[in-house]
Structure 1
Amino acid sequence: MEASVVAAVESAVESGGMAIHVRMLGSMAVSRAGAALALPPSRKLRALIAYLALAPHAVNRAHLCELLWDIPNDPRGELRWCLSKARALLDEPGRRRIETAQDTVRLDLADCRVDVLEIGQAMQQGIDKAGLERLRELAALFVGDFLDGLEIGRSPFFNSWLTAQRRRLRACHAAVLEHLAAGLPAGSEERFACLDKWLQLAPFDRHVHERLLDSLGMRGRWREGEEHLAAAVRAFEAEGLDWRPLRDAWRDVRARRASPAQSLESAGPAQAPAATADVPERTGRASIAVMPFADRSTQAGVRGGLADGLAFDVIARLAKLRSLFVIAQGTVFALDQRSVGPEEAGRTLNVDYVVSGSLRRQGQRVAVEVQLVESRTARIVWADVFDHKLDDAFQALDEISDRIVASIEIEIEAAERNRAILTPPNSLDAWQAHHRGLWHMYRFNRTDNEQARHFFEMAVRLDPTFSRAYAGLSFTHWQTAFQRWGEQAPAIDMAFETAGQGLIADDRDPAAHWAMGRALWLRGSQEQSLTELRSAVDLSPNFALGHYTLGFVNCQSGDAEAAIGSSDHSRHLSPFDPLLFGMLAVRALALMRLGRIDEAAGWAVKAAARPNAHVHILAIAACCLALAGKQDEALGFLPLIRKAAPSYRVDDLLMAFRLTPDTQAVFREGARRIGIG
């Protein structure tokens, strides 16, 4: 859709139409049908247009006044003046681009070509998928710094936003150059020019140094390579960075390129490889850096407040997950104190993901904006805003931290699953095999469950200390037992055995305790099961699956009220979880036990509507609806149940769960009313 909009705009420009082109890289410029328009001299007008163009939603007028005017005589009046000038510049007959509604302002440039928006769209579509010519086109858009020369005196909020946007776009530029360099012939002058620009943008990104050394070796320019290595080592040492990978890379280049038969001159005609031919594949578990959050409520440079506390908390909680390599807080805070932005820090630290954000207090509320970015593609993986009452600052930070960490875990897991599914099975490492297993595991059917087991077994074979892979393997055996996809007793034993292996591998991994808690429930040891599950959430309070499974156990024969609380908390932490259908069903079962039949039916229907909801979830919804007197809606689930399991009866449901005798009797009555009794 976005690409077609860009193509339509370009076509309109070529045909002499009235399409508008807004350039923000370099000095701001606006043209219509190829003819430059005269911009009013007001710097705040240009700043306003840029800010509105990049805002994802309509912006409150009060916020715009605070952003651009430092205690003016009439901020609203000055804003109205700027908006009138912007309308004269951008609006056309029959096409209003400046939209105002109530107290908000929005700029709609969907039918215009805007260099910064075009770059953002390309990043989100996947710069690693772009062809060579497209990469050249994107690189050509970077003619200068974002809004070059547009700093505004006594407007700290705008200048802070401007700095953040410049850092983000420099990261986008570096990502474009990295992938462009990968697609150019190794010894070509175009590649050297590309690497030089990349080096200027990211002087401490070891990948660009390694690529440059390789190209110099390809051309036989050994003396230049030695000189570049020596200069790079001095620069890295001065910044306290590890330069040894550069030395090792140069030794490898010399070993590979030393033979004349391998030099560029003796080789045949150079052929440009695919755009990402020599972008190195990552191996091992994903790494992440959490940069200090900017506090928009305090004077610049003042540290130690809520924003720093939030960053410390997120780093500590991510480390407790045991599934990611997390950069220590001392390192990221040291980089931040040297004014290294999140994007540059990601490349300097050579991590896969970077978390950054800002905090702002307004009265008795605090709003936290967070972004998770993939370092080498500059793609925004996830972004959100968390708004919370500030009655108790520590409680507010605690809840926000939980939600941030749970969201990061889910989003990275999804990104890694998508990456792993595209990797050939015979070249998977343990981390990739684990995520390939997760991709199949979350399909919740017998065939995919077997595939998941295969990949988890591969993961633990490649790395016998990988506790998360043992937890996944245990879950596949649990599914076989719970769904009765095979002999139950051996599956229960295997679920318990592999969970135990996970605990031996890492008894601080919450997922290992989660797997053991589920296995113990299968064995009928409810109290031991609850103990293990509580250990999981004690180790990592934001571990959504731990809270969900506590609810799962309690909703059947334990504390029904506690089950509702666990279900709600797990959904609060992970609102788009692959097991969301189970979280909703836990609430339905707990409400059923409490005699709140109508509510139970509503939640059960929500559970059944989720993707991959299995046949037991459909049966719970049908029985709850029948008991609530909604016979027609209940009967509507029968075709779905028959399709999933033609001979399904209520006994299949009751054998899967550990329900109390009185709850079993209630379900039998519901099943009798719809003919599966």
Structure 2
Amino acid sequence: MTWAFGDFRLDPERFQLSRCGKPVRLEPQVLSLLIHLIRNRDHMVSKDELVTAVWHGQAVSDASISSRVRSARQAVGDDGTQQSVIRTVHGRGFRFVAEVTTVPPVHAASAEASGEAAGGEIVHQSSGRPGGLPGGRPSIAVLPFQRLGMVPALAILGDAIPHEIIEALSRLRWLAVIARGSTFRLRQQAADLDLVSNALTARYILSGIIECPDRSIAVTLELTDTSSREIVWADRLVAPLGEIGDLRARIVAHLVSALEVHIPFNEARLARLSDPEGLDAWANYHIGLGHLYRFTAADTALAQVCFERALRADPQFARAHAGLSFTSFLDAFLHLTPDSASAARDARRHAERSLELDALDPFANFTMGRTFWLTDEPDIAADWLARATALNPNYAQGFYATAFTEMLTGQAPATFAALDTSLHLSPLDPLLYGMHGVRAQMLIQQEDHEAAAGWADRAATTPGAHYLISMIALAANGLAGRHDQAARWRQKVRRLRPDATAAHYFAAFPTRDTASRARVAAELQRYGF
């Protein structure tokens, strides 16, 4: 079924609005709002009903509702004065008042076969976004797990584990999580992804199978992009029956960390396939993240451009300011700019603005904490980073940054504990080289130079490692008497950063342990730094 009004056609199954045969690009929330109003055009739709249908019951301000209604009106040629399509019932809600007729939908299969749909743009049927285009904050629906061969006493885990996952994912400010009350209603239809994605308008679906093979518990997880039906990520975790509690905690932590990597990567991939001029704030943000973790001058500059575009699209976008704090931090920390002091001030300024806009975002608190590394105030940094990991106990990079901070003040047990947590949460993290590098730096302070050299080698050979990590490897190997290996790392440092100096090293790692600083300084001097 397709609805027609004026020059417009809206196909709810294909999630597309078109005018005179040409697609109209809208954010998913705006299109969901429009669909809900037309579907319920026989009565007034209250604001509470809109919040349930479009925002899935999450807390939302009247200003946000008004903004989405205004965008919907603009898309269909209406305005707040004329109100010939969407009428406001003051203080109560909204009603779709334009005359609507139903017409047969364009057959998606024939359109895709000819390479045309709605004016030449291929549109995937039942897509969570028109033509698979990215837009808006990513959303996810976590379905109850399918039970296979479960004993009755353990069958409840098929609901309990997804519930715990929903609670954990709800801490992520960048991901919209559909409430259990909606997702669990589709228990019997969970295998029909078309039906589920249409009913919930979720961009991603997390499904699972739980079973009891050979006196153990096994959980298979699968993350699907609803627009393309591609499996973005999948994994299987197994534990003995006696370790069910540990398995439940492990599933939640493992999943949160995996989604922190795989969904942004997928969002950035889709955004790069789209017209850059048509990208919204979130799409630009995800492309920026893709550049952010490459730690080169060129990629840091590109990330900055993406975050600035995101802010032009949405000046109140807290995460874009946090992204700019991150790029400014890299400019100062890696000395990518001749004016490191100015970059440090920009890092603090953007972190402060991000916190003003969303004080509960772990990423904003993380970037704020790291700005205090640049001003040699590790105690203040530790407080902000502790807040970040309290807001999201599965925040691997928050624990890594905590380990770095503890290393600066020589707190070895706290350093190693935070590193172990971060590696457990995210064994393939983009900052993996940093985790290994911090461990090596702490081992240098403990004068365990053999172990330090081993960890430093692992750090410096990890993809993405920057020149400062190679300097740790040089110093650790030199102190361990492995001078041939130290010489190889010297060559790599000079290749990555020809003007690198010992001053760069100590500016990045301002440790309080004077004895280890003296040993490292002597070793760097031996190799010409």
TM-score, length basis structure 1 = 0.60
Matched, 1:284 2:136: yes
1:636-651, aligned counterparts within 5 Å? 636-651=488-503
Counterpart residue number, 1:208: 14
Matched, 1:579 2:431: yes
Counterpart residue number, 1:669: 522
Corresponding residue SS for 2:170:
helix
CA distance in 2, matches of 1:385, 1:345: 23
Give 1:489 deviation, angstroms: 1.8
1:295-314, aligned counterparts within 5 Å? 295-298=147-150, 305-314=156-165
Deviates more, 1:661-670 or 1:291-300: 291-300
Cα displacement string for residues 524-578 of structure 1 (whole angstroms, at most 9, x for unaligned residues): 2212211111111111111111111111111232422222222222222222222
Counterpart residue number, 1:465: 316
Counterpart residue number, 2:180: 329
1:584-599, aligned counterparts within 5 Å? 584-599=436-451
1:185-196, aligned counterparts within 5 Å? none
Counterpart residue number, 1:375: 226
Give the AA of the match of 1:576: L
Counterpart residue number, 2:353: 501
CA distance in 2, matches of 1:459, 1:209: 24
Give 1:517 deviation, angstroms: 0.8
Corresponding residue SS for 2:315:
coil
Give 1:294 deviation, angstroms: 2.3
1:48-67, aligned counterparts within 5 Å? none
TM-score, length basis structure 2 = 0.75
Counterpart residue number, 1:104: none
Give the AA of the match of 1:462: A
CA distance in 2, matches of 1:636, 1:461: 45
Counterpart residue number, 2:293: 442
Residues 561 and 303 of structure 1, relative CA distance in 2, 3 Å threshold: closer
Cα displacement string for residues 470-489 of structure 1 (whole angstroms, at most 9, x for unaligned residues): 21110111111111222122
Corresponding residue SS for 1:636:
helix
Give 1:586 deviation, angstroms: 1.5
Counterpart residue number, 1:608: 460
> Larger Cα Rg: Structure 1 or Structure 2?
1
Residues 652 and 279 of structure 1, relative CA distance in 2, 3 Å threshold: closer
Cα displacement string for residues 244-278 of structure 1 (whole angstroms, at most 9, x for unaligned residues): 99xx99x89x99999xxxxxxxxxxx994656267
Give 1:297 deviation, angstroms: 4.4
Give 1:382 deviation, angstroms: 0.5
1:185-584, aligned counterparts within 5 Å? 206-208=12-14, 233=39, 272=116, 276=122, 279=131, 281-298=133-150, 305-337=156-188, 341-342=192-193, 344-362=195-213, 365-389=216-240, 391-486=242-337, 487-584=339-436
Give 1:298 deviation, angstroms: 2.3
Paired residues of 2:136 and 2:280 also in contact (CA < 8 A) = yes
Corresponding residue SS for 1:321:
coil
Cα displacement string for residues 68-114 of structure 1 (whole angstroms, at most 9, x for unaligned residues): xxxxxxxxxxxxxxxxxxxxxxxxxxxxxxxxxxxxxxxxxxxxxxx
Cα displacement string for residues 480-528 of structure 1 (whole angstroms, at most 9, x for unaligned residues): 1111222122211111111111111111111111111111222222122
CA distance in 1, matches of 2:16, 2:306: 33
CA distance in 1, matches of 2:333, 2:421: 24
Paired residues of 1:206 and 1:348 also in contact (CA < 8 A) = no
Cα displacement string for residues 144-180 of structure 1 (whole angstroms, at most 9, x for unaligned residues): xxxxxxxxxxxxxxxxxxxxxxxxxxxxxxxxxxxxx
Give the AA of the match of 1:559: Q
Paired residues of 2:182 and 2:200 also in contact (CA < 8 A) = no
Residues 271 and 449 of structure 1, relative CA distance in 2, 3 Å threshold: closer
Cα RMSD after superposing both structures: 3.7
Give the AA of the match of 2:487: L
CA distance in 2, matches of 1:588, 1:283: 41
**Kindly, what percent of the aligned residue pairs are identical?**
32
Paired residues of 2:452 and 2:476 also in contact (CA < 8 A) = yes
Corresponding residue SS for 1:444:
coil
Give 1:214 deviation, angstroms: 8.6
Paired residues of 2:147 and 2:155 also in contact (CA < 8 A) = no
CA distance in 1, matches of 2:490, 2:371: 31
Corresponding residue SS for 1:207:
coil
CA distance in 1, matches of 2:350, 2:286: 17
1:158-169, aligned counterparts within 5 Å? none
Deviates more, 1:419-428 or 1:655-664: 419-428
CA distance in 2, matches of 1:340, 1:391: 30
Paired residues of 1:342 and 1:356 also in contact (CA < 8 A) = no
Q: Which has the higher contact order (CA 8 A, sep 6+)?
A: 2
Corresponding residue SS for 1:384:
strand
Give the AA of the match of 1:609: T
Residues 636 and 213 of structure 1, relative CA distance in 2, 3 Å threshold: closer
Give the AA of the match of 2:252: S
Paired residues of 1:520 and 1:528 also in contact (CA < 8 A) = yes
Counterpart residue number, 1:101: none
Counterpart residue number, 1:94: none
Give 1:299 deviation, angstroms: 5.5
Give the AA of the match of 1:208: R
Matched, 1:631 2:483: yes
Give 1:233 deviation, angstroms: 5.0
Give 1:591 deviation, angstroms: 2.0
Give 1:401 deviation, angstroms: 0.4
Residues 625 and 286 of structure 1, relative CA distance in 2, 3 Å threshold: same
Paired residues of 2:378 and 2:408 also in contact (CA < 8 A) = no
- Larger proportion of helix: 1
CA distance in 1, matches of 2:212, 2:362: 33
Give 1:296 deviation, angstroms: 2.7
Residues 368 and 490 of structure 1, relative CA distance in 2, 3 Å threshold: same
Paired residues of 2:115 and 2:122 also in contact (CA < 8 A) = no
Give the AA of the match of 1:670: E
CA distance in 2, matches of 1:611, 1:339: 39
Paired residues of 2:132 and 2:227 also in contact (CA < 8 A) = no
Which ranges in structure 2 are unaligned for 5 or more consecutive residues?
Answer: 1-10, 22-34, 44-49, 55-68, 77-84, 87-96, 102-113, 124-129
CA distance in 2, matches of 1:209, 1:442: 34
Paired residues of 2:189 and 2:195 also in contact (CA < 8 A) = no
Give the AA of the match of 2:528: I
Paired residues of 2:143 and 2:190 also in contact (CA < 8 A) = no
Residues 282 and 420 of structure 1, relative CA distance in 2, 3 Å threshold: closer
